[in-house]
């Protein structure tokens, strides 16, 4: 032992050099050189018969010589396989580079996957440790691949960071940033209900701002389908364009109010596509920082035909359960702070309407109108889901958490059909009305 | 015996060993078994730890000059001393598998796409062997500045998790199954009991101005309570999927908005956090090396360190095919031995420390008695009467001490 | 050629044939007096106007006791010492003395007449400060000792001299406060110096190596400085300073790593600013060591940690580069090292032109040619600049930086983490002359934190550093009643220490 130690001490530098020279070339083979990877920022998944069609949104670096005004160019690569994992692997073989999936922020799922159990289809994104837990789930109305390709029409920062866009949308009550992990978790709770946002990207001039009816939505979709296919074919060519040229085509816009799809135990049930429903579900479930409300039919002669635009900040929602006659009632207490009137569109009224508006009675009528509007939105969303048998407000979970023994008693009597005996009570309070 | 550690270093090492073990795989394992009530395991086992760490500190206070081996040898004989020290050594050896697996997990699956661990694991083996050779001195000194980095990383990552969690998912508190919780406490006891290192610090702590008793007790309690809360945060983030998210410290910060904006900069904090794991492995294996050296009489520190550390490496690489398998196999065996070390050893050491102290006092008294007889000329018969009188007893000591001076 | 006298033969015989030894023969009261000297070592003016004039001063008889008589005559101009043995004679002449020999006498007089040329006292290039003294040590040990003596006017300042080097006979002086420095350390130094048997000592670095522990070749173990105020401060803290003739760098022992993080300017500025600057130095040190390795690790393995926008920019920058990141960064480091080495040696007239060429080649052309990428230049440039934030550690930091780059390229974050930990553990285990290497942080020494990263005002530094042992730990008394009360109320041990300090001072007085 002593001889070994003495030998090591005498030849320390030689041993270190030897170790480095052995490991040095090894490092080249194990090294995940950045150039040998393609950076994937979004994934679209569709089902084609029994196979999965996966499309990757890839950021292609631009060498200095080719750089135009844009910093990166998007490219879309599609492949089919028996599983999502296999499809991604095939893409790697196709392009000769491994897919770097760590920056994937969005997964868009096509309509074709809604037939089965979505939680099972998305298992890959939970198991693979390369993905961030906060990867967002979006549902495309038709083909996810086409919708993903339309992101090319968005500003580059928007296209590669859809998750951030939806975070902002969520905070202003017109979008839902639903991580896949949370979606999966919600489907495993007592209520089993989970939601995911839809995504609709249209070119400027095609989209309809504000509320969209079913018909309008259909016509938009049909237009986009025709346009979408063309976009898909042109994607490869457009990916090779210079940054300057591509900016001319960046006139895509994400729809303001995106549909909210709701599921029960991972299976698709229905969706909220009306503005009131979407607003209702956000106000009851989420706690955004800011939001816009439009109220009409305010009581009183002065404002009866007016359309009033309000902005509120720091809305807080507290959901409590109470049992009445052994049945759970969800009490939703909503408090709106700092409600400001931004705009009053009052047709046919003389100009000094401001003095009338300042009257206390007018203000209290507006507040009442806001309360009524919010209540009606929430109830609309709840009733629609209740009809479909989906406990969208998680009454079951809340009841178990807050009053477990009463809940167990109730559940033992009703079982899976507990929802029919539930009801909601919405209390809206407006503080600091301006 | 050269005093190698300061009281402050002991405190920091206890904090590191108590916290580092619990922040990798444990929360996901508990959630698979207990779900929302898993935080109770941290509270129960934490309180047990607090109770017995107090006993361990008391033993340390009673005996300040001898190491645990010397103490056992003096009071119970060589054979029992070797048995006790062997048990300690084996315990530290097995405990070291936890942070080793944690590092394996963190680097080969979290921070890297695919790191060939059998080859790259040798880097850490070399580093640990060197640390074991440098000794407790070096580990204590390394622990001092790194504990700040370790705790800061933990706080940052924890803070990122707290800001995005839904704590209501942990409710209800009251609806739990007691037998299940007891079973879970039994199954996961290996991750607790980090204070056992205090026995090895007996006789090796410098007598300085620092305090060791209450700070350590408060630290152990605080760490366990924070981890209980941490479990709630973790469960609040993942709920039913918590069992699949095997790395608590890297999973807890993934939902933060910072992540969306700035990318995974929490990785740097996860990396800094691994320093704590490394100190933990180094400490456990250094202590195991010391124990086995004393048991087998091998004084060559280099050889012993090499054997012990390579054994851990071989177990990890060749015996356990996956990290999960390794951890579950080890915990299945150790849960039967763990109570002996956590509960039995503090009581045992208090008893023998008291016995040793009494023996020393008696020895001093009998020496003083001889001197007293010589000084005063009183006969042995009469001395017994004097001894009964406490004032005389005291004055006997005082006279002899005065004589010394 | 005149026949040499016996004295001349003897003295000339002690030196080699072509020695530059000169001899002046004088006739004084019918007696031949010889003056032997090496002209380049003595002050020539002193020979003419000093020695010779004073010898001929009195016309009276010299008397029987010639040497005593001559000694009295020359005492006003030079220190005279009697020498007899060959060793003493050669030592005297080679030390710059004039040897006065009288025919027929067996003893000789050695007259100190050093006239070697000295550099003027200027500010050292590596330790400049915005405020504070601008004096620096020079190569002459006497001048250096004088600079210290001017600052430490105390009888307890001990100066122990010796010579080392068989052929160079280099003068060395150990300077310390006899009532403060640890005698054990002094003995250790003397023992090591005694063991040293070498041909010649040309610089203090020889002594530094000599005093470093066996086998330790990489990390610095002995402190050094070229500023008198710094060395005086270190002596006041209980350290031992080692002066070496021929070197402006003074060594100080014991050494702790944090010494190099402190600069003289820290003590002449407001504490808050000093605190900020010290943290800056720490950050700079870490950047210089780890940044290239971190960049390589991020680009090769842990790109997931980078935000997407930055990653895209990085991808764009490295798109055309055909080398792996590790090789690329090592190449840039190599270029920077060549530039820095060349800039030390290149002639000043060419300096500016070559610097521009270097910058243009590295900064622009190489990037455009696709040999290296701009992020790697930025990274290595930052690392190179921060390397000199602590100039005393630049050699070690430069080597470690290269090592960490290789380690980062081989094993990414993991390699960096393990490598850093190994280096830190090794350094933490070191203890030199009773001082732990990373004191006062590892182990933590509470009182020394007042001069740690967060600097307190000078009046708060009541105690000398406790990271190493000193005989007298109290530096100053608390400055006002409030502070006195606070200190006394703080803890019993603080009281005891204060009392002990007072006792020691009394005994010292």
- Give the model's pLDDT for residue A187: 92
Categorize the per-residue pLDDT at A243 as very low, low, confident or very high, splitting at 50, 70 and 90: very low
Q: What is the mean pLDDT of chain A?
A: 78
Categorize the per-residue pLDDT at C60 as very low, low, confident or very high, splitting at 50, 70 and 90: low
Mean pLDDT score, B219-236: 93
Q: pLDDT at residue C22 above 60?
A: yes
* Residue C225, strand partner residues: C250
Residue A266 backbone dihedrals phi, psi, to 5 degrees: 90, -5
Q: Is A29 in the B-facing interface, judged by CB distances under 8 Å? A: no
Q: How is residue A425 written in tokens?
A: 């009570």
Categorize the per-residue pLDDT at B327 as very low, low, confident or very high, splitting at 50, 70 and 90: confident
8-state DSSP, C304 = G
CB < 8 Å to A189, chain B: 239-240
| Model pLDDT for residues C203-236, shown as the tens digit of each residue | 999 999 888 877 667 888 899 999 999 999 999 9
Q: pLDDT at residue A376 above 80?
A: yes
CA distance A258 to A292: 15
Considering the domain architecture, whether residues C274 and C389 belong to the same structural domain is answered as yes
Residue C80 backbone dihedrals phi, psi, to 5 degrees: -110, 145
Q: Is A5 in the B-facing interface, judged by CB distances under 8 Å? A: yes
- Give the model's pLDDT for residue A81: 92
Categorize the per-residue pLDDT at A217 as very low, low, confident or very high, splitting at 50, 70 and 90: very low
CB < 8 Å to B275, chain C: 417, 421
| Model pLDDT for residues B148-189, shown as the tens digit of each residue | 999 999 999 999 889 888 898 998 888 888 999 999 998 888
Mean pLDDT score, C115-133: 80
* C289 within some domain: yes
Q: In b/e form, how buried is each residue of B49-66, taking b as 16+ CB within 10 angstroms?
A: bbebbbbbbbbbebbeeb
CB < 8 Å to B116, chain A: 30
CA distance C476 to A22: 58
Considering the domain architecture, whether residues C96 and C150 belong to the same structural domain is answered as no
Query: Percent of chain B scored above 70 by pLDDT?
Result: 89
- Which helix (H) or strand (E) covers residue C340, if one does? helix C325-345
Mean pLDDT score, A22-30: 61
Contact C90, C11 (CB under 8 A): no
User: B388 or B221, which is more confident?
Assistant: B221
User: C337 or A204, which is more confident?
Assistant: C337
Categorize the per-residue pLDDT at C338 as very low, low, confident or very high, splitting at 50, 70 and 90: confident
Q: pLDDT at residue B77 above 50?
A: yes
Give me the number of domains chain B comprises: 1
CATH, range A286-430: 3.30.300.210
CA distance A106 to A163: 6
Q: pLDDT at residue B13 above 90?
A: yes
Q: pLDDT at residue A223 above 60?
A: no
| Model pLDDT for residues B357-403, shown as the tens digit of each residue | 888 877 777 776 677 677 666 666 666 565 555 555 555 555 555 54
Q: Is C286 in the B-facing interface, judged by CB distances under 8 Å? A: no
- Give the model's pLDDT for residue B319: 78
- Give the model's pLDDT for residue B86: 92
Mean pLDDT score, A391-397: 91
Q: Give yes or no for a cis peptide into C443 (omega within 30° of 0).
A: yes
* C155 within some domain: yes
8-state DSSP, C11 = H
State the nearest Cα–Cα gap between A2 and chain B, in angstroms.
10
* C101 within some domain: yes
Domain range annotation of chain A: 32-261, 286-430
Q: How is residue C79 written in tokens?
A: 């220190």
Q: pLDDT at residue A214 above 50?
A: no
Q: pLDDT at residue A29 above 60?
A: no
Contact A217, A276 (CB under 8 A): no
Dihedral angle, C-alpha C104, C109, C115, C118, nearest 10 °:
140
- Give the model's pLDDT for residue C64: 60
Subunits with at least 3 CB pairs below 8 A relative to chain B?
Answer: A, C
Q: pLDDT at residue A425 above 70?
A: yes
* C122 within some domain: no
Considering the domain architecture, whether residues C99 and C62 belong to the same structural domain is answered as yes
* C120 within some domain: no
The CATH number given to whatever domain includes residue B93 is 1.20.1740.10
Categorize the per-residue pLDDT at C508 as very low, low, confident or very high, splitting at 50, 70 and 90: very low
Categorize the per-residue pLDDT at C24 as very low, low, confident or very high, splitting at 50, 70 and 90: confident
* C85 within some domain: yes
CA distance C14 to A311: 105
Contact C115, C46 (CB under 8 A): yes
Nearest to A160 among C308, C320, C325 (CB): C308
Considering the domain architecture, whether residues C425 and C452 belong to the same structural domain is answered as no
Cα torsion B28, B29, B33, B38: sign = negative
Q: How is residue B308 written in tokens?
A: 């012990």
- Domain extent, residue B293, equals 7-344
CA distance B49 to B193: 6
CB < 8 Å to B134, chain C: 425-426, 428-429
Note the pTM of the prediction, 2 decimals: 0.83
* B151 within some domain: yes
Give, to the nearest 10 degrees, the angle between helix B136-162 and helix B117-134.
130
- Give the model's pLDDT for residue C62: 55
- Give the model's pLDDT for residue A242: 36
Contact C210, C244 (CB under 8 A): no
Nearest to B120 among C411, C425, C428 (CB): C411
Q: What residue has token string 């509270």?
A: B43
Classify strands C108-112 and C97-102 as parallel, antiparallel or unpaired. Answer: antiparallel
- Give the model's pLDDT for residue B405: 44
Categorize the per-residue pLDDT at C250 as very low, low, confident or very high, splitting at 50, 70 and 90: very high
Provide CB contacts within 8 A for A90, sequence distance 6+: A79, A80, A81
Q: pLDDT at residue C186 above 70?
A: yes
Residue of chain C whose alpha carbon sits nearest to that of B208: C493
- Out of A58-72, C119-133, C412-426, pick the least confident: A58-72
Contact B290, B90 (CB under 8 A): no
Q: What residue has token string 């997931």?
A: C304
Give me the number of domains chain C comprises: 4
State the nearest Cα–Cα gap between C432 and chain B, in angstroms.
14
Contact B5, B138 (CB under 8 A): no
- Domain extent, residue C464, equals 447-508
Q: pLDDT at residue A324 above 70?
A: yes
CA distance A124 to A115: 18
Q: What is the mean pLDDT of chain B?
A: 84
Burial class (CB in 10 A: 0-12, 13-18, 19+), B333: exposed
Q: How many CB atoms lie within 10 A of CB A41?
A: 25
Categorize the per-residue pLDDT at C75 as very low, low, confident or very high, splitting at 50, 70 and 90: low
Residue of chain A whose alpha carbon sits nearest to that of B251: A133
Q: pLDDT at residue B65 above 90?
A: no
Burial class (CB in 10 A: 0-12, 13-18, 19+), A307: middle
Which of the listed ranges A231-245, A323-337, B374-388, C15-29 does the model predict with the highest average pLDDT? A323-337
Q: How many CB atoms lie within 10 A of CB A311?
A: 16
Q: How is residue A138 written in tokens?
A: 């979006």
Q: How far is CA B120 from CA B114, B124, C410, C411, in A?
A: 11, 8, 10, 8
Q: pLDDT at residue B227 above 90?
A: yes
CB < 8 Å to A164, chain B: 260-261
| Model pLDDT for residues C440-487, shown as the tens digit of each residue | 888 888 888 888 899 988 888 888 898 888 888 888 877 665 556 655
Determine the distance from the C-alpha atom of residue A267 to the mean position of all C-alpha atoms in its chain, rounded to a whole number.
Answer: 18
8-state DSSP, A201 = E
Q: How is residue C164 written in tokens?
A: 């080392």
User: Minimal CA–CA distance to A280: which of A307, A263, A260?
Assistant: A260
Categorize the per-residue pLDDT at C303 as very low, low, confident or very high, splitting at 50, 70 and 90: confident
- Give the model's pLDDT for residue A365: 79
Q: How far is CA B262 from CA A57, B22, B108, B236, in A?
A: 20, 28, 24, 24
CA distance C395 to C392: 8
Q: How is residue B301 written in tokens?
A: 């520190």
* Binary contact (B115, C306; C-beta < 8 A): no
* B387 within some domain: no
* B2 within some domain: no
CB < 8 Å to C294, chain B: none
Query: Percent of chain C scored above 70 by pLDDT?
Result: 88
Which of the listed ranges A103-112, A166-175, A424-433, B386-395 does the model predict with the highest average pLDDT? A103-112
Contact C61, C29 (CB under 8 A): yes
- Give the model's pLDDT for residue C113: 77
Mean pLDDT score, A166-193: 88
- Give the model's pLDDT for residue C225: 92
User: Minimal CA–CA distance to B221: which of B57, B35, B8?
Assistant: B57
Interface residues of chain C, partner chain A, Cβ below 8 Å: 215, 299-301, 303-304, 308-309, 311-321, 324-326, 368, 406, 409-411
Mean pLDDT score, B202-228: 87
Categorize the per-residue pLDDT at A235 as very low, low, confident or very high, splitting at 50, 70 and 90: very low
Contact B260, A134 (CB under 8 A): yes
- Give the model's pLDDT for residue A384: 93
State the nearest Cα–Cα gap between C443 and chain A, in angstroms.
28
Q: What is the ipTM of this complex?
A: 0.86
Considering the domain architecture, whether residues C286 and C418 belong to the same structural domain is answered as yes
Q: pLDDT at residue A225 above 50?
A: no
State the nearest Cα–Cα gap between C327 and chain A, in angstroms.
10
- Give the model's pLDDT for residue A145: 92
Q: pLDDT at residue A303 above 70?
A: no
- Give the model's pLDDT for residue A226: 40
Q: pLDDT at residue B74 above 90?
A: no
Considering the domain architecture, whether residues C42 and C15 belong to the same structural domain is answered as yes
**C444, C466, C467: which to substitute to probe chain B, counting the most B Cβ within 10 Å?**
C444
- Give the model's pLDDT for residue B283: 94
Q: pLDDT at residue A406 above 50?
A: yes
Q: Give yes or no for a cis peptide into B271 (omega within 30° of 0).
A: no
Q: How is residue B395 written in tokens?
A: 């004055």
Quick check: helix, strand or coil at residue A430?
strand
Q: pLDDT at residue B33 above 80?
A: yes
CA distance B59 to B213: 11
- Give the model's pLDDT for residue A210: 41
CA distance C303 to C300: 7
Residue B313 backbone dihedrals phi, psi, to 5 degrees: -60, -45
Q: pLDDT at residue A249 above 70?
A: no
8-state DSSP, C47 = I
* Binary contact (B113, A32; C-beta < 8 A): yes
- Out of A169-173, A181-185, C388-392, pick the least confident: A169-173
* B166 within some domain: yes
Q: How many CB atoms lie within 10 A of CB A420?
A: 9
Classify strands A37-48 and A51-61 as parallel, antiparallel or unpaired. Answer: antiparallel
- Give the model's pLDDT for residue C341: 85
CA distance B130 to B110: 26
- Out of A141-145, A290-294, C368-372, pick the least confident: A290-294
**B127, B153, B280: which to substitute to probe chain C, counting the most C Cβ within 10 Å?**
B127
Considering the domain architecture, whether residues C197 and C97 belong to the same structural domain is answered as no
Q: Which of C403, C429, C455 is the last residue of a domain?
A: C429
Mean pLDDT score, A393-413: 91
- Give the model's pLDDT for residue B291: 93
CA distance B82 to B79: 5
Contact C131, C277 (CB under 8 A): no
* C210 within some domain: yes
Mean pLDDT score, A92-117: 87
């Amino acid at each position: 032992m002593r001889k070994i130690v003495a030998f090591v001490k005498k030849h320390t530098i030689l041993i270190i050099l030897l170790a480095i020279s052995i490991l040095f070339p090894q490092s080249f083979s194990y090294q995940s050189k950045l150039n040998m990877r393609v950076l994937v920022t979004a994934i679209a998944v569709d089902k084609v018969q029994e196979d999965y069609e996966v499309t990757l949104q890839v950021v292609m670096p631009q060498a200095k010589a080719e750089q135009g005004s844009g910093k990166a160019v998007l490219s879309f690569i599609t492949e089919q396989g028996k599983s999502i994992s296999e499809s991604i692997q095939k893409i790697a073989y196709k392009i000769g580079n491994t897919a770097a999936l760590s920056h994937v922020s969005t997964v868009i799922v096509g309509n074709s996957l809604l037939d089965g159990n979505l939680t099972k289809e998305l298992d890959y994104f939970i198991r693979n440790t390369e993905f961030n837990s906060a990867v967002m789930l979006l549902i495309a109305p038709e083909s996810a691949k086409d919708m993903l390709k339309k992101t090319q029409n968005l500003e580059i920062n928007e296209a590669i960071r859809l998750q951030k866009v939806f975070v902002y949308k969520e905070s202003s009550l017109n979008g839902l940033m639903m991580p896949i992990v949370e979606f999966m978790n919600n489907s495993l709770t007592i209520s089993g209900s989970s939601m995911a946002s839809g995504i609709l990207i249209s070119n400027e001039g095609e989209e309809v701002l504000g509320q969209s009816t079913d018909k309008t939505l259909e016509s938009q979709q049909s237009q986009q389908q025709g346009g979408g296919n063309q976009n898909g074919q042109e994607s490869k060519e457009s990916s090779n364009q210079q940054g300057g040229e591509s900016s001319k085509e960046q006139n895509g816009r994400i729809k303001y109010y995106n549909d909210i799809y709701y599921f029960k135990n991972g299976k698709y049930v229905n969706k909220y596509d009306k503005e009131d429903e979407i607003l209702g579900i956000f106000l009851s479930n989420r706690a955004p920082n800011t939001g816009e409300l439009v109220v009409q039919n305010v009581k009183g002669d002065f404002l009866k035909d007016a359309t009033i635009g309000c902005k509120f900040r720091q809305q807080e929602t507290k959901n409590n359960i109470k049992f009445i006659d052994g049945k759970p009632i969800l009490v939703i207490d909503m408090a709106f702070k700092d409600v400001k009137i931004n705009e009053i569109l009052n047709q046919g009224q003389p100009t000094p309407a401001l003095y009338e508006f300042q009257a206390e009675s007018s203000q209290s009528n507006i507040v009442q109108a806001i309360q009524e509007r919010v209540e009606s939105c929430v109830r609309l969303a709840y009733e629609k889901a209740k009809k479909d048998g989906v406990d969208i407000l998680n009454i079951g979970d809340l009841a178990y958490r807050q009053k477990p023994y009463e809940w167990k008693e109730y559940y033992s009597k009703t079982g899976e059909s507990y929802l029919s005996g539930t009801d909601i009570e919405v209390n809206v309070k407006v503080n600091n009305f301006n | 015996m050269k005093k190698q550690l300061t009281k402050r270093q002991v405190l920091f090492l206890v904090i590191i060993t108590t916290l580092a073990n619990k922040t990798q795989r444990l929360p996901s394992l508990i959630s698979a078994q207990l779900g929302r009530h898993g935080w109770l395991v941290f509270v129960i086992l934490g309180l047990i730890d607090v109770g017995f760490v107090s006993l361990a500190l008391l033993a340390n206070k009673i005996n300040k000059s001898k190491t645990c081996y010397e103490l056992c040898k003096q009071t119970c004989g060589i054979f029992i001393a070797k048995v006790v020290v062997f048990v300690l050594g084996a315990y530290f050896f097995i405990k070291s598998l936890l942070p080793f697996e944690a590092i394996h997990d963190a680097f080969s699956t979290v921070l890297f796409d695919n790191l060939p661990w059998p080859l790259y694991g040798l880097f850490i083996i070399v580093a640990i062997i060197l640390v074991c050779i440098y000794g407790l001195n070096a580990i204590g000194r390394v622990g001092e500045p790194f504990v700040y980095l370790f705790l800061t990383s933990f706080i940052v990552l924890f803070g990122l998790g707290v800001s995005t969690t839904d704590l209501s998912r942990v409710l209800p508190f009251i609806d739990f199954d007691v037998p299940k919780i007891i079973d879970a406490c039994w199954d996961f006891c290996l991750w607790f009991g980090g204070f056992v290192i205090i026995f090895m610090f007996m006789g090796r702590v410098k007598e300085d101005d620092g305090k060791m008793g209450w700070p350590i007790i408060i630290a152990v309690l605080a760490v366990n309570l924070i981890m209980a809360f941490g479990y709630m945060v973790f469960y609040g983030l993942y709920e039913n999927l918590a069992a699949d998210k095997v790395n608590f410290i890297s999973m807890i910060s993934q939902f933060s908005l910072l992540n969306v904006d700035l990318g995974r900069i929490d990785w740097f904090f996860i990396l800094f956090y691994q320093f704590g794991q490394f100190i933990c492995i180094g400490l456990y294996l250094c202590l195991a090396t010391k124990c086995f050296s004393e048991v087998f009489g091998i004084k060559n520190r280099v050889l012993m360190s090499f054997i012990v550390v390579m054994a851990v490496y071989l177990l990890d690489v060749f015996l356990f095919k996956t990290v999960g398998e390794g951890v579950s196999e080890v915990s299945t065996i150790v849960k039967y031995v763990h109570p002996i070390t956590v509960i039995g050893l503090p009581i045992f050491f208090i008893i023998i420390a008291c016995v040793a102290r009494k023996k020393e006092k008696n020895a001093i008294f009998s020496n003083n008695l001889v001197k007293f007889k010589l000084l005063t000329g009183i006969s042995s018969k009469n001395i017994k009467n004097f001894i009964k009188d406490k004032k005389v007893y005291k004055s006997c000591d005082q006279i002899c001490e005065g004589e010394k001076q | 050629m005149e026949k040499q006298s016996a004295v001349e033969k003897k003295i000339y015989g002690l030196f080699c044939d072509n020695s530059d030894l000169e001899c002046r023969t004088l006739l004084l009261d019918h007696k031949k007096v010889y003056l032997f000297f090496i002209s380049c070592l003595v002050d020539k003016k002193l020979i003419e106007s000093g020695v010779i004039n004073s010898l001929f001063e009195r016309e009276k008889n010299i008397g029987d006791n010639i040497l005593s008589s001559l000694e009295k005559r020359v005492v006003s101009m030079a220190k005279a010492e009697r020498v007899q043995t060959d060793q003493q004679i050669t030592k005297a002449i080679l030390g710059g003395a004039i040897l006065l020999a009288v025919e027929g006498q067996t003893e000789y007089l050695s007259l100190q007449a050093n006239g070697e040329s000295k550099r003027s006292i200027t500010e050292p290039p590596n330790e400049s400060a915005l405020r504070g003294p601008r004096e620096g040590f020079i190569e002459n040990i006497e001048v250096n000792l004088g600079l210290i003596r001017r600052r430490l006017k105390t009888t307890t300042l001990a100066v122990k001299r010796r010579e080392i080097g068989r052929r160079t006979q280099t003068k060395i002086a150990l300077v310390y406060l006899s009532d403060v420095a640890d005698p054990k350390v002094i003995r250790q130094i003397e023992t090591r110096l005694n063991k040293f048997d070498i041909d010649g000592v040309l610089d203090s670095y020889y002594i530094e190596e000599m005093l470093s522990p066996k086998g330790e070749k990489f990390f610095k173990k002995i402190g050094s400085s070229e500023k008198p105020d710094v060395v005086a401060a270190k002596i006041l803290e209980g350290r031992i300073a080692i002066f070496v003739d021929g070197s402006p760098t003074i060594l100080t022992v014991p050494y702790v790593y944090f010494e190099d993080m402190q600069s003289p300017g820290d003590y002449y500025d407001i504490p808050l600013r000093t605190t900020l600057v010290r943290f800056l130095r720490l950050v700079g040190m870490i950047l210089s060591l780890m940044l290239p390795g971190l960049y390589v690790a991020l680009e090769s393995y842990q790109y997931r940690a980078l935000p997407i926008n930055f990653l895209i920019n990085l991808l764009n920058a490295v798109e055309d580069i055909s080398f792996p990141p590790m090789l690329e960064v090592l190449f840039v480091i190599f270029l920077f090292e060549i530039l820095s080495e060349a800039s030390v040696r290149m002639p000043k007239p060419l300096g500016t032109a070559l610097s521009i060429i270097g910058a243009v080649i590295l900064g622009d052309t190489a990037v455009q040619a696709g040999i290296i990428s701009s992020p790697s230049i930025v990274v290595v440039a930052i690392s190179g600049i921060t390397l000199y934030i602590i100039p005393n550690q630049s050699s070690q930091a430069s080597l470690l930086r290269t090592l960490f780059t290789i380690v980062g390229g081989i094993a990414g974050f993991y390699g960096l983490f393990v490598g850093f930990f190994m280096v830190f553990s090794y350094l933490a285990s070191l203890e030199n002359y009773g001082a732990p290497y990373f004191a006062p942080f590892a182990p933590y020494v509470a009182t020394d934190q007042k001069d740690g990263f967060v600097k307190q005002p000078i009046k708060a530094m009541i105690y000398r550093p406790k990271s190493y042992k000193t005989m007298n730990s109290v530096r100053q008394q608390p400055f006002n009643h409030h502070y006195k009360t606070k200190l006394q109320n703080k803890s019993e041990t603080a009281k005891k220490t204060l009392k002990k300090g007072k006792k020691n001072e009394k005994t010292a007085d």
